[in-house]
Each structure stands twice: as structure tokens, then as C-alpha cells.
A = this chain, B = another copy of it.
Amino acid sequence: MKKIPEILDKLRRTGFKLTPQRLAILEVLQGNTDHPSASMIYQSVRDRYPMISFATVYKTLKVLEKVDEVRPLTIVEDKLNYDPDTSPHHHFHCRACRRIIDVFPSEDPMPSSIDGHQVDKYQVYFYGLCADCAGRKDA
């Protein structure tokens, strides 16, 4: 995700309007590495913008997906999590603390095709026990 003013520009250029709700959501996402779900975003936004609705959160996330400023993750079954960092990287999901942790591979370029199929996007999900939780178990 770019800096907020740049995103606002991009939205305006794409024909989207700037609303306080959208700004509040952008502020919650900016720099966020928690990979929040829609409901986590809703709750955080509500702290600073109490009258926001769930529908607006979902609709705004769709807009941000469209302008490629947020990436939906299907790492957890039955809900989506959102990553404002759209740079190429992977994710690790800890089965104990349930955190989603960024993993930046030293090198792992997305193939442009595989078995003759054209690849536009890819996701790598790791599952297991994170370093913190593994340490806690041993102790």
C-alpha cells in the first residue's frame, strides 16, 4: 500500500470519491502488519469513526482491492484477511496464536507461467507453530 495521499490521488483519478470513512479505513490499514479481517478493521475504524457500518468496510475493501492497494488472503478457512502490503511476499499462519506473519523470501520470483498456464498472481501459505509459540511450549 502506498502512502495515503498517493492513494487518495489514485482513487480520485479512478473516479472514486474521498469520504471520511474511506480515509479512516486507510489510516487503520496504513502500516498495519496484522493482516486484519473485515471485522477487525471494522472494530478499529469504529474507535475513531463510531458511525461506520460493516457494509462500508466491505465496499471500501473491494475498492482498495480493485486499485491494488490491499491484497485479500485466503490463508484462514472461512474468512478473508487483508494485507495492505501488496509487495510480493508470503505468509505464515501459527496454529497456536493464530497470527499471520509476513515472510519475505530471499528469492522466489513469481513464474510468469507454469505447465503452460499464464500466472497473474500467486500466494504461498505456510502453516505451523511460530517461533514464539514453539518457545512457549518448550518452557
Contact = CB atoms under 8 A, between A and B. Distances in A.
Interface of A: 72, 74-78, 80, 92, 94-95, 101, 103, 111, 113-131, 134
Contacts of A72: 77
Given A74-B74, A77-B74, A118 B123 contact: no
A124 B126 CA distance: 9
B125 A122 contact: yes
A101 B126 contact: no
5 contacts: A95-B120, A101-B117, A116-B131, A117-B130, A117-B134
A13 to B, nearest CB: 25
Nearest to A99: B117
